[in-house]
Amino acid sequence: MYNGIDVSKWQGKINWSKAKKYIDFAIIRAGYGKGNVDEYANYNIEQCEKYKIPYGLYWFSYAYNKDMAEREADYLLRVIGYHKPEYPLYFDFEYDSVDYAKKNGVNISKTLLKSMATSFCEHLEKNGFYAGIYTNEDYIKNKYPSEIFDRFDLWYARYNTEPNRDVNLWQKSSTGKISGINGNVDLDVAYIDFPSLMKEKHLNGW
């Protein structure tokens, strides 16, 4: 097991030299919606590389059709540029995403969400990256068709209780405390050695 955190602008400017003593990896929000780059994404990437902290990235989706989802994957690729993340890249679609779609007259069905997540992840795979989906038990039961997790890796949010399914990445808490970070931070556990996998399979630029 490897212990990590996931971060975004909500953690502010992290002192990574302090945080690195307590973590094995980080998952960084690259951005959200139509090309909005998280204001700390580039800083967090640079700092993780400086302190040799393996990292992955995620994009918070506001897509409501598959073409929008594919464009979001492109925005994520632009943030990555020539960087070589050692953890996967994740599609993050949540309650706020559903609300945004409704405001634009679109009801997110299981079929639609499957097509969007697939479009996002397959676009990343075509570009040589390891792609996955971040979600929780409610979405697994009510929003995603179960077969999609046979196809793509699941980053599973389930707080304070160990996963009730096989997963490679588990988000275990939203109220973690880590030196170098003001306030709460999400805590994660990886069950496999992603950096070795990326290098062995020549993914993510390795």
pLDDT digits (tens, 9 = 90+) for 36-62: 999 999 999 999 999 999 999 999 999
CA atoms within 13 A on the CB side of 50: 11
State mean pLDDT over 70-78.
98
Mean of the per-residue pLDDT values for the chain?
Answer: 97
Q: What is the pLDDT of residue 132?
A: 98
Conformational region of residue 60, where left means phi above 0, alpha means psi within -120 to 50, and beta covers everything else: beta
Task: Tell me, yes or no, if the pTM score tops 0.85.
Answer: yes
Distance separating alpha carbons of residues 184 and 4, to the nearest angstrom: 14
pLDDT digits (tens, 9 = 90+) for 81-117: 999 999 999 999 999 999 999 999 999 999 999 999 9
pLDDT digits (tens, 9 = 90+) for 179-201: 999 999 999 999 999 999 999 99
pLDDT digits (tens, 9 = 90+) for 146-184: 899 999 999 999 998 889 899 999 999 999 999 999 999
Q: What is the pLDDT of residue 160?
A: 83
Distance separating alpha carbons of residues 132 and 156, to the nearest angstrom: 10
- Percentage of the chain beyond pLDDT 70 is 100
CA 149 to chain centre: 15
* Paired tokens of 205: 């630029």
Q: Mind listing the domains of the chain with CATH numbers? A: 2-201 (3.20.20.80)
CA nearest 44: which of 23, 16, 82?
16
Distance separating alpha carbons of residues 71 and 88, to the nearest angstrom: 18
- Mapped onto helix, strand or coil, the DSSP state of residue 182 is coil
DSSP-derived pairing of the beta strands 185-190 and 2-7:
antiparallel
Helix or strand (DSSP H, E) at 112: helix 110-126
State mean pLDDT over 6-11.
98
Conformational region of residue 100, where left means phi above 0, alpha means psi within -120 to 50, and beta covers everything else: alpha
- Mapped onto helix, strand or coil, the DSSP state of residue 157 is strand
CA nearest 93: which of 151, 32, 12?
32
